[in-house]
Amino acid sequence: MRLIHTSDWQIGKVFRFADDEVLPVLQQERLEAIGRIGRLARAQGASAVLVAGDVYDHLRPAERTLRQPIERMRQFPDLRWHLIPGNHDFHEPDGLWDRLLGMGLPDNVVAHLTPEPAPLDAAGDAWVVPAGLGRRHLIGDPTAAMDAAPTPEGAIRVGLAHGSVRTFGSDDATARNVIALERARTADLGYLALGDWHGALRIDARTWYSGTPEIDGFDLGGAGGGQALLVSLDGPRAEPVVTVHDTGRFRWARDQAVLTSAEDVRGLEARLRGIDRDDPSRVLVRLAVSGALTLTDLELYQAQVVAGLGSALRLLRIDGAPDLATSPDDLDGFGMAGAVRAAAESLVAQAGAGDAQTRDVATAALQRLHLLARDVRAGGGA
Amino acid sequence: MMLRGLEVEQVRRFGDPVRLNGLGPGLNLLAAPNEFGKSTLLAALRAVFMLQHGSKSEAVRSLQPYGNSTAPRIAADFSVDGTDCRIEKRFVSRPSARLTEGGRVLEGDEAEERLQRLIGLEPGKRGTEALGILSALWVGQGQSLAQPDLSDPARATVRTCLEADLGAMTGGAEAERILARVRVDLAILQDGRGNPKGRYRAAIEGEAEAAENIARLDTRRRMLEDDLAAMAECRRRLAHEDNADRRAKEHADLAEARRLRDRLRDHDALYRAARAAQAHAAARVEAAGQDVARRAAWQAALDGETARLADLADGLGLAEARHAAAQAAHAARRQAVEAAERACAAARRELDRVEARLALARLERERHEEATRLDRLDRAEAEVTRAALRLAACTMDDARMATIRQADRAVQAARAASRAQATVLDVLLEDGTAGRLVLDGRVLQSGRVDLTDSATLHIDGVGTIRIEPASRDRDRLRDELAAAEDALHRVLDQAGCADPDAAEIALAQRRQADLALNAARSGLAHLLPADGPGGKAAGGRGQGTQDVAAAMAEARRRVALLDERIAHQRAALPQGPDRADTAAAGPDADVAAAHDLALRAMQGADARAADARQALFAPDETLRQAAADLARLQGEDRSAREVAGRLARDMAAARAAEADDALSARLDAERAALAEAEQAVRRIEAARPDGTEALADAAIRRQERIIEDAQARLGSLRQDMAALEARIHAAEGDGLDERIAGQERLREAHAAERAACAREVAILHCLRDSLTTAERAATERYLAPLCRAVQPALAALFPRAGVTMEADFSVSRLMRRLDEPFDTLSDGTREQIAVLVRLGLADLLRARGRPAMLVLDDALTYSDAGRLDRLFDILTDAADRMQIIVLTCRAELFTGLGARSLTVEAIAKTI
């Protein structure tokens, strides 16, 4: 049999760095990913979709947010969608899962809120052994009960869980939601579908993280995310065949540049445009900039990178700014003498001394003076 | 530049054409009274150089004559850089302009343009004056107080002059334009007070609003979490309460408690019945026992009564004998008492009689004493009367005696005075000459004779010697002596005495009589009762007479009273001769003895009578006791007989009803029945269930309440849960977490925007400050020449003073001893500085080859004479370099100026 393994949809996620224009697009795309997953399943002949937790980003989403993914899944009546609560949307009494049950889930959507195994498909050849979270942080292994979970003889056991397989520096006693690496073996699972990590990751032949279907952060960049897994299981003992399929639309990139010349600026621009030459609007970039530029090159940087790329890309987030590298030519641009030249010299001095903020402000002021002086000389005086 | 002539026609008060004559280089003065038209001439000057001929502005129309709409016409002759020029303009109707420059003539706008270039002006806004430095140098009336307000072109002109001087671009204008742009940009983010505005303010407010929303949503989320926790608790409690097993057990417990109570009630009824049967049997045993006992008691009582009756019969006999004896003894004592009382009465009568005699005798004695006292009083009073008469007969008293003595002393004094003045005759008679000397008829013996008056001495055989004493006051002394002797004789006569010695004797007699009267009075006073009216001590002469009379009357009244009492006593005296009667005639001792005798007899009789009465009492008590004993015994006997009778009757009746044997058998049967009933009670007691009915009831009530409470709690829990559920649904439906995340995003966005705005403001501030500083530095540099231009004149006016000039070429401070802002200076000083600044500017222009010329209209009016003189010097000095025209209405003030005098003269026609 074939199934699709996905997780961490995190519907309703709010991207704080996004402005009012970008945010709804990013949120909408996470919903669209559900349709892409459904179509992938149909195309690959999978009958079931396992969502390994964190369907929602918030424990208390708005009514519309709550219903939206359900309505997307409803559009695939031929698929059976198996959901478990993750750490973002854990099952608290009277919480969102009770709300969902209260409003009535479509027949093809199954919420596994207790550890009881359930048939994976209509035929009953495979069974889901779920381990959803009842609270955000569970001390111990949420999958511990899988070993003893009863399923019919000869059925393929597919584990569905949310958590980490690694503790991060703390000892095991306080580890939370940590899943035993050998759980697939100890619980006699044909496949263990995991959620929580946002990049697709193979733990072993039977244990995989699917990652999130639409990337939601710069950190993972190209290392994962934006994918779903197609899992083929030929029998209870057979090793699963797992293939990775793209489901994401947006490309998130993190870059950094040290700018010292006009060439650097132009090279940076070319590099960022090269991420998706066909459709830069699919690209979100977080850029760390440092270095020092002359006034002219700063102007180039402002025009090409900040203004140009800033408009071309879906989102360009820049941390830092190039410093001002003053040259005699720059100062001569303000005239050989006179009040403006004197002011420029004073600003150059400020830009080269004092704390970072003073330098930054003085640099920006000098740039501004440069522009204004040019404007004024061109007859654009006040 | 130099003005050579000005012609006006149809300009305000100047209807007909006139010309300002006499203009030349250096100082020019037009001194004329008010309303002469000086200001009009200045206005015409400004108009012809600075107003476009085609202008229809108010400035142009104001040139028209009052109430007239004719066309003002103005012409000016002037020279620039040595070239003679003439400008002619006609305004309002058919306006025209014509400039003659050397041989060249320009018309209309061409003329205007050329004119402006010539004198360095720029066109102003439509209809207003052209702009340039001249405008500031031609000062109208009332403007001289302010410093020149330089228009942009004027500033540019000055600046150009200065920069040319420096030989470098200052960039001041450029910096200023950039600064203006910076200020515009800054004004988008900050208001005048430096507070954020626009998007900066919106960001701050947005951030605050988002934070507020987050706080509000957080509160709601906490409430939701509380509600969820409460809901979980409710569910737990509901599961606990709504437990079927528990409820079944509670109901079973209730049924069991009720069963127990029923058992307790049944047992209680049985027990009460058995106890009743037992009590009944016991009562019956007791009744039979009582019957037996009663019969035995009756028998015993009967026996007792019989024995008692026998005892009573003995006692009765004895008591009767005692009673009779007591009665006899009582009668005998009564007789003895009667006898003693009779004897006692007789003794009392005797005593009474003796006492009556004694009283009579005492009364008679009292009467005798009273009579004697009355007699003595009588005699003493007669003695007092006699002594008073004797005293009254005395004519002499102390006062009179004093008068006599005084008169006598006066006579003696008069005589002594007379003798002191007298002529002394010392006579020594020889033997045998006695009787031969006769003075005033009196024979002189040997001795001394005082002659106080004229005297005649006759010497027998010799003759007569008339002696006239040389006393000056002789007559007066003689009169005084005679008067004194008269006075003595008068008082002696009044006293009835022949001479002072007799008077002394009479006074001694009087004292004697007085003493005698006092002695008699004293005797009488001693006879008066001490407690009488007035008393002895207070007895005066007048009062004493009354007292005496009253005392005598009282004594007589008492004698009479005693007489009456004696008679009464005698009448009351028992008649008949007895021992007392005889004794009455005898001495008092006998009477007293008789009285003692009678008294003792009386006391003896009394004592005997008391003894007899005492004796009577005691036997009386014995008798009463005997009688009571007898009565009691008789009563007891009677009742004993009745009791015995009744007992015998009862006994007989009882035995007739039930024989003694039958009674005994009944008692035994009843006892057996009682034993059986007691056993039955014990059996039932042993079978009693545990607990009491009250406890069983309490257990039932408690169980019932548990069941009821559980139901109530269930109901309340379900209600609470329904409410919680509604609240939770509402809160969850709002999507609190999502909204909080959204608000946090907003807050961060606003914060970023705020930071960006703050950075922008900081950048603009930085730029502004840098530019301002740079501009100031540059300005200071190029202002130096202007300061230098102004400085000499300033030093002349204000020694050791300096000025601070601003970028707009105004003076902001005057630095003397103190640093004084321009605005705080006096009117005079401000005006003087304003004139100096204009001079400086004009100097600067002239030195750079620019047209420069100064017009002062009614200026320097605030200056004192000293400063005015120095100003004249300064103006005179400046006039060497430029033309200066002064218009004033105060000719006398400006005579010291030494200026060229201007006149206004009519001409044929201007244009």
**Chain A contact set for B770 (CB, 8 A):** 343-344, 346-347, 350, 365, 369
> Is the model's pLDDT at B585 over the cut of 80?
no
Among B767, B768, B775, the residue to mutate for chain A (most A Cβ within 10 A): B767
d(CA B879, CA B895): 16
Q: Is residue B157 part of a domain?
A: no
d(CA B722, CA B716): 10
Kindly report, residue by residue over B149-166, the tens digit of the pLDDT.
666 667 767 766 666 555
**CB neighbour list of residue B656: distance below 8 Å, 6 or more residues apart:** none
Distance of CA B155 to the CA centre of its chain: 76
CB contact under 8 A, B175 and A346: no
Q: Which residue has the tokens 């056993």?
A: B679
Kindly report, residue by residue over B788-827, the tens digit of the pLDDT.
777 777 777 887 787 777 766 777 778 877 788 877 888 8
Q: Is residue B130 part of a domain?
A: yes
- Chain A touched by B178 (CB under 8 Å): yes
Residue B215: both structure tokens together? 């706080």
**Chain A contact set for B775 (CB, 8 A):** 339, 343
d(CA B133, CA B121): 7
Comparing A82 with B523, which gets the higher pLDDT?
A82
Q: What was the pLDDT predicted at B618?
A: 65
CB contact under 8 A, B741 and A58: yes
d(CA B62, CA B72): 10
Residue B878: both structure tokens together? 């400046």
In A, residues 44-73, which contact B (CB 8 Å cutoff)? 57-66
A19: nearest CA in chain B?
A: B749
Which of B483, B506, B529 finishes a domain? B506
> Is the model's pLDDT at B897 over the cut of 90?
no
**Chain B contact set for A20 (CB, 8 A):** 749
CB contact under 8 A, B169 and A16: no
d(CA B700, CA B703): 5
Q: What was the pLDDT predicted at B586?
A: 52
Residue pair B838/B862 in contact by the 8 Å Cβ criterion: no
d(CA B299, CA B365): 97
3-state secondary structure B875-905: HHHHHCCCEEEEEECCCCHHHHHCCEECEEE
In B, residues 105-144, which contact A (CB 8 Å cutoff)? none
In B, residues 222-261, which contact A (CB 8 Å cutoff)? 224, 228, 231-232, 235
The β-bridge relationship of strands B853-857 and B900-901 is unpaired
Q: Which residue has the tokens 């007479």?
A: B545
- Chain B touched by A244 (CB under 8 Å): no
Triad A203, A207, A208: Cα angle to 5°: 70
Q: What was the pLDDT predicted at A100?
A: 92
- Chain B touched by A373 (CB under 8 Å): yes
- Chain B touched by A121 (CB under 8 Å): no
Write b or e for each residue in A263-289: b if 16 or more Cβ atoms lie within 10 A of its Cβ, otherwise e.
ebbeebbeebeebbeeebebbbbbbeb
- Chain A touched by B777 (CB under 8 Å): yes
> Is the model's pLDDT at B855 over the cut of 60?
yes
Question: What is the percent of chain B where pLDDT is above 70?
Answer: 91
d(CA B314, CA B477): 151
A62: nearest CA in chain B?
A: B735
d(CA B850, CA B843): 9
Question: B665 pLDDT band (50/70/90 cuts)?
Answer: confident
Q: What was the pLDDT predicted at B463?
A: 84
CB contact under 8 A, A12 and B729: no
Q: What was the pLDDT predicted at B583?
A: 42
Distance (Å) from the C-alpha of residue A83 to the closest C-alpha of chain B? 20
Distance (Å) from the C-alpha of residue B166 to the closest C-alpha of chain A? 11
**Chain A contact set for B807 (CB, 8 A):** none
| Spatial CA neighbour of B127 closest among B158, B79, B95 | B95
> Which value, in Å, is the radius of gyration of the alpha carbons in chain A?
27
Give the domain CATH number at B91. 3.40.50.300
If phi > 0 it is left, if psi is from -120 to 50 it is alpha, else beta; for residue A94 that is: left
Which of A14, A95, A335 comes nearest B741 by C-beta? Answer: A14
Kindly report, residue by residue over B413-424, the tens digit of the pLDDT.
888 887 777 777
- Chain A touched by B189 (CB under 8 Å): no
Look at chain A and count its residues: 382
Question: B142 pLDDT band (50/70/90 cuts)?
Answer: low
Residue B824 CB coordination number (10 Å): 11
Among A60, A89, A90, A100, the residue to mutate for chain B (most B Cβ within 10 A): A60
CB contact under 8 A, B770 and A346: yes
Question: B171 pLDDT band (50/70/90 cuts)?
Answer: low
**Chain B contact set for A63 (CB, 8 A):** 733, 735
Write out the DSSP string of B462-485.
TEEEEE----TTHHHHHHHHHHHH
Whole-number average pLDDT of chain B: 82
If phi > 0 it is left, if psi is from -120 to 50 it is alpha, else beta; for residue B574 that is: beta
Taking the alpha carbons at both ends of chain A, their separation in whole angstroms is: 75
If phi > 0 it is left, if psi is from -120 to 50 it is alpha, else beta; for residue A62 that is: beta
Q: What was the pLDDT predicted at B589?
A: 64
**Chain A contact set for B171 (CB, 8 A):** 335, 337-342
d(CA B398, CA A216): 161
- Chain A touched by B770 (CB under 8 Å): yes
Mean pLDDT by 10 residues, chain A (382 residues): 94 89 93 95 94 93 92 94 94 89 92 92 87 84 89 90 74 69 90 91 91 85 77 88 93 89 92 90 92 87 92 91 76 72 84 83 86 76 41
Write out the DSSP string of B765-815.
HHHHHHHHHHHHHHHHHHHHHHHHHHHHHHHHHSTT-EEEE-TTS-EEEEE
Distance (Å) from the C-alpha of residue B233 to the closest C-alpha of chain A? 11
Distance (Å) from the C-alpha of residue B761 to the closest C-alpha of chain A? 9
CB contact under 8 A, B728 and A381: no
Residue pair A77/A185 in contact by the 8 Å Cβ criterion: no
Structural domain range at position B43 = 2-150+809-906
Q: What was the pLDDT predicted at A56?
A: 95
Q: What was the pLDDT predicted at B540?
A: 44
**Residue A111 three-state SS:** strand
| Spatial CA neighbour of B377 closest among B545, B540, B541 | B545
**Chain B contact set for A377 (CB, 8 A):** 174
CB contact under 8 A, B767 and A377: no
Domain borders along chain A are: 2-246, 251-377
Which of B473, B491, B506 finishes a domain? B506
- Chain B touched by A23 (CB under 8 Å): yes
Q: Is residue B58 part of a domain?
A: yes
Q: What was the pLDDT predicted at B580?
A: 44
* Helix and strand element counts for chain A (H, E): 10, 16
Which of B170, B178, B779 comes nearest A372 by C-beta? Answer: B178
Distance (Å) from the C-alpha of residue A334 to the closest C-alpha of chain B? 10
Comparing B879 with B469, which gets the higher pLDDT?
B879
Write b or e for each residue in A178-210: b if 16 or more Cβ atoms lie within 10 A of its Cβ, otherwise e.
bbbeebbeebebbbbbbbbbbbbeebeebbbbb
Distance (Å) from the C-alpha of residue A262 to the closest C-alpha of chain B? 24
Distance (Å) from the C-alpha of residue A161 to the closest C-alpha of chain B? 24
**Chain B contact set for A339 (CB, 8 A):** 170-172, 174-175, 771, 774-775, 777-779
Kind and range of the H or E run holding A230: strand A227-232
Q: Is residue B566 part of a domain?
A: no
Please name the amino acid found at residue B557.
R
Q: Is residue B85 part of a domain?
A: yes
User: What is the average per-residue pLDDT within B235-260?
Assistant: 86
In B, residues 722-751, which contact A (CB 8 Å cutoff)? 725, 728-729, 731-739, 741-742, 744-745, 748-749
Per CATH, is A2-246 categorized as 3.60.21.10? Answer: yes
In B, residues 749-768, which contact A (CB 8 Å cutoff)? 749, 759, 762-764, 766-767
In A, residues 324-353, which contact B (CB 8 Å cutoff)? 335-344, 346-347, 350
Comparing B430 with B163, which gets the higher pLDDT?
B430
Residue A33 CB coordination number (10 Å): 25
Which of B482, B506, B530 finishes a domain? B506
d(CA B755, CA B615): 144
Burial class (CB in 10 A: 0-12, 13-18, 19+), B166: middle
d(CA B695, CA B701): 10
**Chain A contact set for B232 (CB, 8 A):** 93-94
Distance (Å) from the C-alpha of residue B731 to the closest C-alpha of chain A? 9
Distance of CA B166 to the CA centre of its chain: 84
**Chain A contact set for B170 (CB, 8 A):** 337-339
Kindly report, residue by residue over B682-695, the tens digit of the pLDDT.
888 888 888 888 88
B764: nearest CA in chain A?
A: A365
| Spatial CA neighbour of A34 closest among A209, A227, A213, A245 | A213
H helices present in chain A, as ranges: 22-44, 63-74, 96-103, 183-186, 262-273, 295-301, 310-312, 328-332, 339-351, 356-377
d(CA B637, CA B643): 10
Residue B498: both structure tokens together? 């022949």
Residue B525: both structure tokens together? 């006073």
Distance (Å) from the C-alpha of residue B27 to the closest C-alpha of chain A? 39
d(CA B872, CA B896): 8
A–B CB contacts, 8 A cutoff, strictly below: 162
Distance of CA A363 to the CA centre of its chain: 35
3-state secondary structure B352-364: HHHHHHHHHHHHH
CB contact under 8 A, A339 and B232: no
> Is the model's pLDDT at B756 over the cut of 60?
yes
